[in-house]
Structure 1
């Protein structure tokens, strides 16, 4: 097990549950009106997005680097009575799921241990996995919460939607940008502090 996988194994093993179990609101907003087909969930974590997609009728391939996260996600899917999800372990810097998909989702695809360029490389590979007529949705934080005086990680750069779009290096004439925006929402702190946090969302569609 290399250091990147070890980091994420420890990240999930430290708590019985890390995430809420709910689907990311930005994914729900961008995907709710799409016709279900095949979906690829990159960095699926404990499976909240993948389970929601399957409940909407999508046939999902859900990917994470952590075996612990994948086992936990599969357990949550079983508890919810959800099938139609294939769970695969991949370090996306080294391997990628096979096939093409009607939807590829990369939600909050951040990593404090990724090497320079790894995220962009994985997202460019994600574009190759989008089937003709399919959609890629990339969401990520635009900065730290406003109430946070001392960020937990120094020198972190949060890419803007324009920077993400540039990094994707989409071929001219083959893609349409449907959504490219920054969304600010109320985000209280753990001790009830009032504040907000901004997130980026980019949704692009491959031409038929």
Structure 2
């Protein structure tokens, strides 16, 4: 697969079109843990997939802008949101985040497992995500710490940064941000045969200070 925009769109559209459901439909556990106590406001969900996180946030009263590169995923997510009765709280936008980024400022910007095969300027995208956080708002980034145990055909172009690397690459302005969380953790994930395995993930949570920017 080449690195141009069309191939990335085709890759993800093809992956979603190949099956009725790629993901569980449940929200990411880190999102639930780290945002349940926040006052609902505006949220930006980057790489929303089939909409599990966006639907969960909307169900708690957030007004969500949900973004993905795949039109197939976005149409499926919109259907799931309508079925859940929260479609009116979610705006769906198709973006290749390396080329375009949603407008506006948000109380929560969430990026969970923003990885892909092939080239993606992840560090630059996450800096754009930080720039989209409103004063007093939160940026929450969850990523894999490596390939799963069952994946033997590793892609050498894919780099899984540590939490410290994520914080460094955000290039946060001194005195304008507070790092609330930067840690690795283990998570149980089923392999393709349905057997539970342990996988290493990481999470970074930062808050833009009020009056910053």
Cα deviation for residue 136 of structure 1 reads 0.1
Partner of 1:44: 48
Indicate conservation of the 8 Å contact 1:144/1:151, yes or no: no
**Aligned equivalents of 2:21, 2:194: Cα separation in 1:** 21
Partner of 2:133: 130
Cα deviation, 1:163-197, whole Å, max 9, x if unaligned, reads 11111000000000001111112334333545311
Q: C-alpha root-mean-square deviation of aligned residues, in Å? A: 1.5
Cα deviation for residue 144 of structure 1 reads 2.4
The structure 2 residue matched to 1:198, chosen from 187, 191, 200, is 200
Which structure 2 residues correspond to residues 7-18 of structure 1 after superposition, within 5 A? 7-18=11-22
Which structure 2 residues correspond to residues 48-127 of structure 1 after superposition, within 5 A? 48-82=52-86, 83-115=88-120, 118-127=121-130
Cα deviation, 1:17-42, whole Å, max 9, x if unaligned, reads 10000101111111111111000000
The normalised TM-score by structure 2 is 0.91
Q: For residue 113 of structure 1, give the secondary structure of its aligned residue in structure 2.
A: coil
1:29 aligns with 2:33: yes
Paired residues in the alignment total: 205
**Aligned equivalents of 2:122, 2:75: Cα separation in 1:** 24
Q: For residue 23 of structure 1, give the secondary structure of its aligned residue in structure 2.
A: coil
**Aligned equivalents of 1:56, 1:88: Cα separation in 2:** 21
**Aligned equivalents of 1:161, 1:44: Cα separation in 2:** 21
Q: For residue 2 of structure 1, give the secondary structure of its aligned residue in structure 2.
A: helix
The normalised TM-score by structure 1 is 0.93
**Aligned equivalents of 1:45, 1:149: Cα separation in 2:** 21
Cα deviation for residue 198 of structure 1 reads 1.1
**Aligned equivalents of 1:75, 1:193: Cα separation in 2:** 30
**Aligned equivalents of 2:157, 2:96: Cα separation in 1:** 24
Cα deviation for residue 153 of structure 1 reads 3.0
Q: For residue 140 of structure 1, give the secondary structure of its aligned residue in structure 2.
A: strand
Q: For residue 126 of structure 2, give the secondary structure of its aligned residue in structure 1.
A: helix
Q: For residue 14 of structure 2, give the secondary structure of its aligned residue in structure 1.
A: helix
Q: For residue 76 of structure 1, give the secondary structure of its aligned residue in structure 2.
A: helix
